[in-house]
Amino acid sequence: MHSIFRVTALAMVCAASLAAHATGEAKNVIFFLGDGMGPVVVTAARFYQGEKLLAAHPGSLQSSEQAALAMQRLPVAGRVKTFSKDSQTTDSAPSMSAYMTGVKMNNEVISMSAETQAYDPAGKQYVRGEESNCPSGNGQPAVTLLELAKGQGRSVGAVSTTRVGHATPAATYAHVCNRNAYNRIAEQSVPGHPHYNQSLRDGVDVLLGGGQRNYLPQSVNPSSKRTDQINLVAAMQAQGYTYVDSGSQLAVLDAGNTRKLLGLFSHSEMAYELDRVQQKKNEPSLTEMTTKALDVLSRNPKGFFLMVEGGRIDHALHGSNAKRALEDTLAFDQAIAGTLAYMEKKDPGLKNTLVVVTADHDHNLVFNGYAKQGNPILGKVVDGSGHLSKAKDGKPYTTLSFGNGGRPGSSAASQVNAEDGGKPWIAPSRGSAGRDDLTQVDTTDDNYLQEVGINLGTPGAETHGGGDVMLFAGGAGAQIFKGTMDNTKVFFKVKQAAGL
């Protein structure tokens, strides 16, 4: 059966069994977080998926717009307000922390009480390099869903394509006043370390992603950000963790004989999906990491809590590189589809499993013009008569652009994509002569950067957006996720559905 139809069947099972799912019946919780995956990203990714399906299976859809993502096949949908305690537009730390703790926090704060400050009175962050210098008395830890699950004897895990200490995964297991204290966050995950988070009891059972720079000392990794010589990987191995650092190692790992699993597959962030595939990097896909995490966690008869993040969606959007953002969104969706199929075999009808999919915040990606059906989502706008649509300046424009962002500057580093072998960015600019003419520009190129309305600096400068985001849910307890809700309310709904 083609995967798209298999996912449809699984979603129908979810919908048919919603009424039978009572509060507290979800002994398994799988929380998917697409970082920065706002509504326009979801829609554009759906169109992009349709293009790919039609290229591989001509005639399988009436048009690319008719495609459906696995997340959108889940039977319950809602909208989430994302503002933080101190800002209309949140950053990832307080938004994910709101989901995990039910507490509204200030920007940059990871799973702490509401009064916690990320900056000192002079406006300086409470970090030194990647070390924490949060003063004592600056807030208290706020209990997380992962900690609650662990306290009930369930297995717990976090998977991400970013560093495992990045804001989203960190919010599940760590507590710190400033998200940039990556070394302290890493230490909180290591049983036996003086800074270990004791609420994790015997430890997070599965932790997969990037971030060797915060776990390995400079004697092992010369580019390490650690300021001591403690090897946190070795310390975790001494506590019974199996450690892997490549996709090939993860693939052959015997989950049946693995009690605890740590996988760090890159120095910093893992590769974008586009680069992972094209450059044949020995890194696992998000689907492969998620499946292996499920292999380990689902052996616990008491159940499990697993958080899975498509973290680099956000990074590509910051860079105004829509193609990589959409590729990573589809990789995220493939992990959702794979998980639904996996859990349907383990738990038919998802009678004991809750699946939640959402985003932590929006971005400034916008959808332009009146393109004809089937027009490439990464292309220039072509109208129903087959003509290029033109702006007031007489020049064509693309369907996708950004409200703000960055352009290559005078520095050599800003002009090339370091993650793609130093290839130059293709970045239309606005000079004294106006917009660059895109007529002969391949806007579907891997390194094309969409036009931006407000130039905030170099690539990477694009900001989050303050709009509401989508939420999709299926399985045990999913019916309570309907409607529009504050991000803090998601915590209480998961807690209720899982009986935590």
Catalytic residue set = 92
Enumerate the β-bridge partners of residue 156. 305
- The DSSP call for residue 344 is H
Provide the residue count of the chain.
500
The token duo for 301 is: 């008869």
Distance of CA 452 to CAs 47, 67, 429, Å? 22, 28, 8
Q: How many Cα atoms are found within 13 Å in the side-chain-facing hemisphere of 147?
A: 21
The number of angstroms, rounded, from the C-alpha of 425 to the middle of its chain's C-alpha atoms is: 24
- Which tokens in the block code for residue 317? 């959007």
* Residues linked to residue 320 through DSSP beta bridges, in sequence order: none
Cβ proximity of 149 and 500 under 8 Å: yes
CA distance 498 to 90: 27
Beta strand 483-486 with 76-81: parallel, antiparallel or unpaired? parallel
Query: In terms of C-beta density within 10 A (0-12 exposed, 13-18 middle, 19 or more buried), how is residue 314 classed?
Result: buried
Strands 206-210, 260-264: pairing is parallel
